[in-house]
Amino acid sequence: MARSVSGPEIERLIQLLAKLPGLGPRSARRAALHLIDRKEELLVPLAKAMEVAVERIVVCSTCGNIDTSDPCMICTDPRRDAGTIIVVEEVADLWALERAGAISARYHVLGGVLSPLDGVGPADLRIDDLVQRVSAGGVTEVILAVNATVDGQTTAHYITDRLQGLGTKVSRLAHGVPVGGELDYLDEGTLAAAIVSRTPF
Amino acid sequence: MARSVSGPEIERLIQLLAKLPGLGPRSARRAALHLIDRKEELLVPLAKAMEVAVERIVVCSTCGNIDTSDPCMICTDPRRDAGTIIVVEEVADLWALERAGAISARYHVLGGVLSPLDGVGPADLRIDDLVQRVSAGGVTEVILAVNATVDGQTTAHYITDRLQGLGTKVSRLAHGVPVGGELDYLDEGTLAAAIVSRTPF
């Protein structure tokens, strides 16, 4: 703001809100006013929820998921198939797969992908931990659910190499037409993959 | 989420973040992960800033602005022209005018506009307070800086009626071509207003 029209506390709140993905300087101001307008219904509970998050949320030392317990709820859930590990890049991908609800397995969050350009090497990701989990035995299948990007696929190849000889099946997500997708709007690579992987009707 | 994959604390944080304007359920999840990933740099300071806001931010009993003191910084600033009151709908409008920096006056935040359809009458806005401020004397001009909407203009007319006979000049913002605006993209109403209010070159 050109001139200060309120105490530094409000401007600090706006500046911090503007660092959230999806909020810019203008929407952060709107969000701050919205919060202050709804003090009891929103600002107080949100401040409290953040305080709880600061105090209680930890990263699972087994799989890299975030939770309020270590090991996390997924790693300690006896109803899940402990023999299948789904490897994902980020916690957000784990959440997305859980929303799909297609499989009841364990996870392994890499914390990113190999990216020589950005200086991200194997030591920066949870790859050694994955090899260790698989080496410990009991894992029959590792599903590589990394993004279908160049870096994602490079990472998938690297992990496949590292897991070779451990006697575990390694698979990856199918490529194809998204459910509800219109062929006219799909890229040629996806269409070609869908043709190659066609299934009997 | 279809199944619970983490403690209720994270889901509560996501639900509350989703209530912010500009964030939906998906971006609230991204924001929550962003916050948890950046615990020390962002989550801890934001939780603290919100706590401070809860404790210290109040509504100015004179003008309706929000600040950490009552009366607010603007109402107590001796360098501002106390004889001019700019009437705005919301605090966000006050901030926008302050960023423009065109005038150094006092403000009066109505807290909305008259809207019979939404059941907002004069008693729901800070209109009586405004009449009282003007009646107390020392105010030479009231600038109505309400939005150029139907409800905004109705409110402006109502306030003008209420202020009649108090010996105070009442003005409103000029209509015209926005700075940087292209004529081809402007609506006819704005163009007509810009022609009528043309100024010597």
Largest CA distance in chain B: 68
Q: In this structure, is residue A34 part of a structural domain?
A: yes
Q: In this structure, is residue A3 part of a structural domain?
A: no
- Chain B nearest C-alpha distance from A89 (Å): 13
pTM above 0.90, yes or no: no
- What percentage of chain B carries pLDDT values higher than 90? 74
Q: Are both A95 and A133 inside the same structural domain?
A: yes
CA trace torsion B96, B56, A13, B61 (10° rounding): -10
For the record, the structure tokens of B24 come out as 């939906």
Tell me whether residues A51 and B51 touch, CB distance under 8 A: yes
pLDDT-based confidence at A53, cuts 50/70/90? very high
Q: Are both B145 and B175 inside the same structural domain?
A: yes
pLDDT-based confidence at B1, cuts 50/70/90? very low
What's the total number of domains in chain B? 2
Tell me whether residues B56 and A7 touch, CB distance under 8 A: yes
> Rounded CA gap, B201 and B198, in Å?
9
Tell me whether residues A50 and B52 touch, CB distance under 8 A: no
Instruction: Decide: A124 and A112 in contact? Cβ < 8 Å.
Output: yes
Which residues are within 8 A (CB) of A150 and not within 5 positions of it... i.e. 6 or more apart? Answer: none
Region of B194 on the Ramachandran plot (φ > 0 left; ψ -120 to 50 alpha; else beta): alpha
Partner residue opposite A12 with nearest CB, options B22, B31, B49: B49
> Rounded CA gap, A46 and A40, in Å?
10
Instruction: Decide: B111 and B126 in contact? Cβ < 8 Å.
Output: yes
A200 pLDDT more than 90: no
What is the predicted pLDDT for the residue at B120?
95
What is the predicted pLDDT for the residue at B5?
63
B160-186 per-position pLDDT tens digit: 999 999 999 999 998 888 888 888 888
- Which residues from A are below 8 Å from B23, CB to CB? 20, 22-23, 31
SS3 B151: helix
What is the predicted pLDDT for the residue at A3?
52
Kindly give the pairing relationship between strand B105-109 and strand B81-88: parallel
Peptide bond into A71 cis (omega under 30): yes
Residue from A38, A138, A100 nearest B3 by CA: A100
Q: In this structure, is residue B61 part of a structural domain?
A: no
Which of A4, A5, A44, A106 should we substitute to test contact with B (largest number of B Cβ atoms within 10 Å)?
Answer: A5
What CATH number does residue A96 fall under? 3.40.1360.10
Peptide bond into B71 cis (omega under 30): yes
Domain of residue A40 covers: 8-56
> Rounded CA gap, B90 and B5, in Å?
41
pLDDT average, residue stretch B23-48: 94
Class of residue B15 by CB neighbours under 10 A (exposed 0-12, middle 13-18, buried 19+): middle
What is the predicted pLDDT for the residue at A168?
94
Tell me whether residues B54 and A67 touch, CB distance under 8 A: no
What is the predicted pLDDT for the residue at A1?
40
Q: In this structure, is residue A1 part of a structural domain?
A: no
pLDDT-based confidence at A6, cuts 50/70/90? low
Q: In this structure, is residue B157 part of a structural domain?
A: yes
Would you tell me how many other CB atoms lie within 10 Å of the CB of residue B21?
Answer: 11
Q: Are both B176 and B195 inside the same structural domain?
A: yes
- Which residues from A are below 8 Å from B30, CB to CB? 21-22, 92
Choosing from B56, B77, B95, the residue where a domain stops is: B56
Instruction: Decide: A58 and A66 in contact? Cβ < 8 Å.
Output: yes
What integer best gives the mean pLDDT of chain A? 91
Tell me whether residues A34 and B20 touch, CB distance under 8 A: yes
pLDDT-based confidence at B30, cuts 50/70/90? very high
Q: Are both B19 and B101 inside the same structural domain?
A: no
- Chain B nearest C-alpha distance from A27 (Å): 7
B126-138 per-position pLDDT tens digit: 999 999 999 999 9
- Which residues from B are below 8 Å from A67, CB to CB? 6-7, 10
pLDDT-based confidence at B187, cuts 50/70/90? confident
Kindly give the pairing relationship between strand A169-172 and strand A141-144: parallel
Q: Are both B86 and B162 inside the same structural domain?
A: yes
Backbone angles phi, psi at A116, to 5 degrees: -55, -35
- Which residues from B are below 8 Å from A49, CB to CB? 9, 12-13, 16
Partner residue opposite B74 with nearest CB, options A5, A10, A43: A5
B37-68 per-position pLDDT tens digit: 999 999 999 999 999 999 999 999 999 999 99
> Rounded CA gap, A198 and A192, in Å?
10
**Of the given ranges (A3-12, A25-34, A83-92), which has the lowest mean pLDDT?**
A3-12
What CATH number does residue A32 fall under? 1.10.8.420
Q: Are both A88 and A151 inside the same structural domain?
A: yes
Question: Residue B159 gets which letter from DSSP?
Answer: H
Q: In this structure, is residue A2 part of a structural domain?
A: no
Interface A–B counts its CB contacts (< 8 A) at 182
A68-109 per-position pLDDT tens digit: 999 999 999 999 999 999 999 999 999 989 888 888 999 999
pLDDT-based confidence at A157, cuts 50/70/90? very high
B145 pLDDT more than 90: yes
Largest CA distance in chain A: 68
- Chain B nearest C-alpha distance from A127 (Å): 19
Q: In this structure, is residue B2 part of a structural domain?
A: no
Q: Are both A140 and A181 inside the same structural domain?
A: yes
How many angstroms separate the first and last alpha carbons of chain B? 62
Tell me whether residues B49 and A13 touch, CB distance under 8 A: yes
Q: Are both B27 and B106 inside the same structural domain?
A: no
**Of the given ranges (A5-9, A126-130, B122-126), which has the lowest mean pLDDT?**
A5-9
- Chain A nearest C-alpha distance from B6 (Å): 5
Can you state the angle between helices A44-56 and B25-37, rounded to 10 degrees? 50
For the record, the structure tokens of A191 come out as 């269409």
B188 pLDDT more than 90: no
Q: Are both A80 and A33 inside the same structural domain?
A: no
pLDDT-based confidence at A156, cuts 50/70/90? very high
For the record, the structure tokens of B180 come out as 């940087």
Partner residue opposite B101 with nearest CB, options A3, A6, A72: A3
What is the predicted pLDDT for the residue at A29?
92
Tell me whether residues A47 and B44 touch, CB distance under 8 A: no
What is the SS3 string spanning chain A?
Answer: CCCCCCCHHHHHHHHHHCCCCCCCHHHHHHHHHHHHHCHHHHHHHHHHHHHHHHHHCEECCCCCCEECCCCCCCCCCCCCEEEEEEEECCHHHHHHHHHHCCCCEEEEECCCCCEHHHCECHHHCCHHHHHHHHHCCCCCEEEECCCCCHHHHHHHHHHHHHHCCCCCEEEECCCCCCCCCCHHHCCHHHHHHHHHCCCCC
Query: Is the ipTM, as predicted for this complex, more than 0.90?
Result: no
